[in-house]
Chains A and B, each alone.
Chain A
Amino acid sequence: MNLSFMIWLPIGAAMVLFALPWTGWRMPRQLALLVMMTQLVFSICILAGAPAYGLAMGMEQHVAWCPGLGISYHLGVDRLSAILLVLTSLVGLAAVSVSAVKENARYFYGMGLLMAGGMSGAFMSLDLFFMYVFHELALIPTFILIAIWGAERRRAAAMKITLYLGLASLVLLLGFLGLHGAGGGQGTFDLIELRQRLGGGEGLSVQTQTVLFGILLLGFGGLVAVVPFHTWAPAGYGEAPPMAAMLHSGVIKKFGLYGLFRVAIPLLPDGFQQWREILVILAGMNLVYAGYVAMQQKDLRYMLAYASVSHMGYALLALAAGGAIATQGFILFLFAHGVGAALGFGVAGFLRQRTGTAVMGDLGGFARQLPAASTLLTIAALAGFGLPGFAGFPAELMIFIGGFEFSRVVTVLAVWTTVISAVYYLRAVRQIAFGPLPGKWNALTDLSLEPKMALVLLVAALLLAGICPHLLLGDLGGSVSIQMAAR
């Protein structure tokens, strides 16, 4: 299977949209939907053929591009990448179908396609240069989408998120350049090559590793909204159009975690050991601090944003803990959180489209008037606090089990976070779906068929991955050696 297809189909389609003078909104939207559906089918095929995580990469493509600088167009997938590809196309499909933008529609949907194509590329690249470029290709449209199609305070939000993530990317670039030089001999950006060079005995000194890991942690961590570098998330997601919020929180934000896992930890194992304690403290901060701040939010989108920041702590805990069980939990968590966050922001975006507000106190009693949206909101809430049956539960369970060996305190805080999450999610459901319906919302209409189907697809994915996690993770049988098995 040709992996390039997953990148260039959406990017090509985006170029077509930018180039053609379509003024209507239907055609661009249909085209984007069609591309996303194709992507979904292809990504599932790739998942079926991908080797389990920890073995070699499959379906590799390798084209020397700039040998002088050690840059090559190198793609390959394993289960982890393939799961993230499925996530990208699933969330992309849902994100396009809940959107109903009519002004400059071709640019809007083109941006969405760029994001999907860029992220597919970032998750498949085995070359740090291309990984970086593809991620930027996905990131920049987020800023544009917020600045142009966002809510009332879009300017300030776009400014903040651009500054923040721009800086984080810059730091990341610095780190990548450091890795490029660190391999010795002629520099290379190739991940596999770097792994062989750095992993083989006479790797880097502990000090160099520590510095490089710190830089990468700052860069990737900024992209993941690690406390205290998280305030871009509520502003950005609060004001973003639903498509951008869904794609960014669901997919693009995962890049930071993916990078730490794929690049930083395997290449700099000694550096990781030095930073491990700090990583686990950061995990605890994210979980509890952001969780309690989420409780105080009045606006559903801001609440979801803080929830998303808080739940990043689970992934950080898994990274810090290492070991086979936490690693599988981490992989499943990326998927579960991505789909769940997209579902939440999808419903929140829909509610705001219909009512013009997402302030929870102004809504209420929607269960009778908007049964489908209310049901989906309830499901997003239940999945959000890790109810068994949804994908989050096995993921968190594995993280708890793996984490408990490493840091009892932070793991107990992580379990406590499920209670914190239940408090704010159930309050949101109580305020929005239950209670009497205020008179002003008597004329609201429910989700139309197409976005409903797309969101139900997300629910189905959550259930499927929650009931049969092995469909995603592959049969692990217990014999797979995990490279980051940490002592």
Chain B
Amino acid sequence: MLLWLILLLPLASFAVIGLFLLNRPRLASMVSAGTAVTTAILALAAIWKGNSVEPAAVFSWLRVSHLRIDFTPEWDRLAQLMTFVVTFVGALIHVYSLGYMKNDAGKARFFAYMSLFMFSMQGIVLAGNFVVMFVFWELVGLSSYLLIGFWYEKPGAAEAGKKALLVNKLGDFGFMVGILMVWSIFQTVDFQRLGEMAWLSVTGGNEMSAELKSWLMLMGLLLFCGVAGKSAQLPLHVWLPDAMEGPTPVSALIHAATMVAAGVYMLCRIFFFLAWIPDVLTVIAWVGGATALFAALCAVAQDDIKRVLAYSTMSQLGLMVMGVGLGGPAPAMFHLTTHAFFKALLFLAAGSVLVALHHEQNIWRMGGLRAKLPVTFLAFLAGMLALSGVPGLSGFFSKDEILMVAFARDKVLFGVGTAVSFLTAFYMTRLMAAVFAGRARSEAADHARETPAVMLMPLVILALLSVAAGYSFLGVKDALRDFAGFASAAQAGHSPLAFWILAGVPFAGIAAGWLMYRDVSRNDALACRAPLLHRLLAGRLWFDELYDALVRHGQGGLTTVLNWFDTWVVDCCGVKGVSLSTMCLGNLLRCFHSGNLQTYLIYLSLALVILIFWKLALF
């Protein structure tokens, strides 16, 4: 019952706002935020009860022949941890949004969509089989689409929403085909039953045939397509930076803390399953590592405060995916949790800056905000230090876990991870220097005032969590202890060499960043010193241009040709040809089809008369 409440309350809020409260924005916002807070409290209660929470009722959705798709809320430690992240961060961001969206014309709609998102996200967390996960997977895609395109009159936002949903749909294509393969191989899509089978086939010592192995490999890669779409991994990453067109609380909740992490969550959920296909795990690890490095490089050259954070998110997600791929789902989940706190914090603090600056997003037109926005500054600083992995803060502990696994498994990926750590500290220092240090470089920055308390309160809570979430007394790490796969991370052990490297790199990054961006001017220092490199990175390696060209010339060309074929060959030659050859018939028909209703009625009655007469005549 409790679990169903956690799931369905936000849906009820969405329905109530959508049906009745669209013209009452104040009430709508209170309903939505109230639901989010209530859900968070209920979730805490359910987590407190832990595994002893009473088993939830089953909703059987499809039952045809041996296909059974039921929705039974899953409530293991993994689900509990993720529920905590989703509902808790969600509630804080709802409260923050009360301030951020205060004077927006579409406030009621915004909160309706936020509730829809909370419902869909919680659905992913509680999903117990592939199909249910896919259902909610697509629903979070929908709410993300609606929220990115929230200011639909801005062409940029409308395009970005469409792009996000389409790229996700592309990933979901692979996911769906993967699910079909799971079904055709195992005749079930249920995680628990698959888990039992996995156990059987591993302990039974059955040697897999080469064919089955290649099928499993393909299946794993297809399932990973869904992850790549949702968690913005190469090459399906192009939607995430554009998604920053949405309101900032959306960026914080959906495109930093929760939805984009759903991919990592799913990887952990099916890790038992992927673990029998080591080749797939290797591919996953390398995709994650490549994404992490690529995104960190891109973040160095962005001028928009939210885009820097977006690339940073992508980069951190890459690290988590790499962690799972290297056989460490528990470190990945740990990092997911701490990242949710500090990245949500960074986005909310950025939102606070944007409100103070009347939505000026270019970091070179900011500056000197340290004194004007003291609370925001401190919160941002906490988030920045945690993200950079400075020892003592949460980010250090969780990133450390992932990179320790990397150190034990694959030294090259460890190198990649270290480079990412360095770059992270570097671009965050650049961001801090540009936004908060120096002198104000625009009128808006000069007149900035601190934002209201309703927005600062969530910042403070998240800042405290960002600092402290890594320590064991908060229990985040303990939550993962009896979760499969943790053992492998512990086995990896702590290497002192790796520890000192990891502890030192953030300081090196910060120092390098400070040296380079100490004297901020209106231009990027990198652009002056290494213009070619800067262009390469600012252009994000021209992925978007490449895809645009592919769509325009590939898909566009194909559709043009097919449309031409349809109009001139199938329709004209085929149809007109046939109709010409049956001209006589056509003319004959035309006589009958006078378009006159009475005539048609006469035909109809004539036909009836003939039929009846015929029938009578037969007797």
Chain A residues engaging chain B, CB cutoff 8 angstroms: 18, 65-66, 68-69, 107, 140, 143-144, 147-148, 158-160, 162-164, 166, 227-228, 230-231, 289, 292-293, 295-297, 323-325, 328, 365, 367-368, 382, 385, 387-389, 393-394, 397-398, 400-401, 404-405, 411-412, 415-416, 418-419, 422-423, 426-427, 429-430, 433-437, 467-470, 473, 475-478
Contact = CB atoms under 8 A, between A and B. Distances in A.
Contacts of A435: 152-153, 155, 158
A147 B593 contact: yes
B329 interface: no
A433 B570 contact: no
B64 interface: yes
B558 A415 contact: no
A231 B180 contact: no
A401 B593 contact: no
Contacts of B590: 159
A296 B169 contact: no
Contacts of A387: 138-139, 142
B559 A293 contact: yes
Given A389-B139, A478-B65, 16 more contacts: A143-B593, A144-B595, A166-B589, A228-B574, A230-B570, A231-B571, A387-B138, A387-B139, A388-B134, A388-B136, A393-B135, A404-B184, A415-B173, A415-B180, A419-B169, A478-B68
16 contacts: A162-B593, A228-B570, A230-B570, A231-B575, A296-B563, A323-B65, A325-B64, A367-B152, A388-B139, A397-B131, A404-B180, A405-B184, A419-B169, A422-B169, A435-B155, A475-B63
Looking at B62, B162, B593, B597, the one whose CB has the most chain A CB atoms below 10 A away is B62
Interface string B124-155: 00000001001110110010000001001101
A469 B61 CA distance: 7
Contacts of B579: 163
Given A289-B562, A435-B153, A418 B63 contact: no
Contact of A147 (B139, B161, B595, B614): B595
A419 B138 CA distance: 12
A468 B183 CA distance: 22
Contacts of B614: 66
Contacts of A295: 555, 559
Contacts of A475: 63
Interface in B558-597: 558-560, 562-563, 566, 570-571, 574-575, 579, 586, 589-590, 593, 595, 597
A231 B162 contact: no
Contacts of A297: 563
Contact of B180 (A158, A292, A411): A411
B176 interface: yes
B575 A107 contact: no
B600 A398 contact: no
B180 A423 contact: no
B618 interface: yes
A435 B562 CA distance: 29
A369 to B, nearest CB: 11
Main secondary structure of the interface of A (DSSP, over half): helix
Given A163-B589, A292-B559, A296-B559, A436 B615 contact: no
B158 A430 contact: yes
A-B interface, 7 closest residue pairs, ranked by CB to CB distance from nearest: A434-B158, A296-B563, A324-B65, A388-B135, A434-B152, A231-B571, A68-B618
B165 interface: yes
B558 A368 contact: no
Contacts of A473: 64
Nearest to B595: A147
A328 B589 CA distance: 40
A418 B173 contact: yes
A47 to B, nearest CB: 18
B508 interface: no
Given A147-B595, A163-B586, A404-B184, A476 B173 contact: no
Contacts of A388: 134-136, 138-139
B170 interface: yes
Contact of B600 (A68, A140, A325): A140
Contacts of B555: 292, 295, 423
A476 B69 CA distance: 13
Nearest to B615: A66
A481 to B, nearest CB: 10
Contacts of B575: 160, 164, 231
B570 A231 contact: yes
B67 interface: yes
B550 to A, nearest CB: 13
Contacts of A140: 600
Centre residue among A293, A328, A398 by max chain B CB count within 10 A: A293
Given A65-B615, A434-B158, A415 B563 contact: no
B62 A394 contact: yes
Interface of B: 61-68, 131, 134-136, 138-139, 142, 149, 152-153, 155, 158-159, 161-162, 165-166, 169-170, 173, 176-177, 180-181, 183-184, 555, 558-560, 562-563, 566, 570-571, 574-575, 579, 586, 589-590, 593, 595, 597, 600-601, 614-615, 618-619
A478 B166 contact: no
A146 to B, nearest CB: 10
A138 to B, nearest CB: 13
B152 A415 contact: no
A295 B155 CA distance: 20
Contact of B66 (A163, A415, A469, A478): A478
Contacts of B153: 365, 367-368, 434-437
Given A293-B566, A415-B180, A469-B62, A107 B597 contact: yes
Given A388-B139, A419-B170, A430-B158, A398 B586 contact: no
A434 B614 CA distance: 61
Contact of A401 (B67, B138, B170): B67
Nearest to A69: B618
B162 A430 contact: yes
A386 to B, nearest CB: 9
Contact of A470 (B63, B155, B165): B63
A163 B582 CA distance: 10
A473 B63 CA distance: 10
A387 B165 CA distance: 11
A434 B154 CA distance: 8
A404 B601 CA distance: 49
Contacts of B183: 401, 404
User: Most A CB atoms within 10 A — which of B64, B142, B555, B579?
Assistant: B64
B600 to A, nearest CB: 7
A436 B155 contact: yes
B618 A66 contact: yes
User: Which of the listed residues B136, B575, B586 has the most CB atoms from chain A within 10 Å of its own CB?
Assistant: B575
Contacts of B173: 415-416, 418-419
Contacts of A401: 67, 180, 183
B248 to A, nearest CB: 20
Contacts of A405: 184
Nearest to B171: A419
Name the residue among B65, B135, B136, B562 with the largest chain A CB count within 10 angstroms: B65
A411 B180 CA distance: 9
Given A147-B593, A412-B177, A398 B62 contact: yes
A476 B62 CA distance: 9
A85 to B, nearest CB: 22
Contacts of A422: 165-166, 169
A436 B154 CA distance: 7
A318 to B, nearest CB: 12
A325 B619 CA distance: 48
Nearest to B60: A470
Contacts of A66: 614-615, 618
Contacts of A163: 579, 586, 589
B279 to A, nearest CB: 22
A435 B589 CA distance: 47
B184 A324 contact: no
Contacts of A476: 63-65
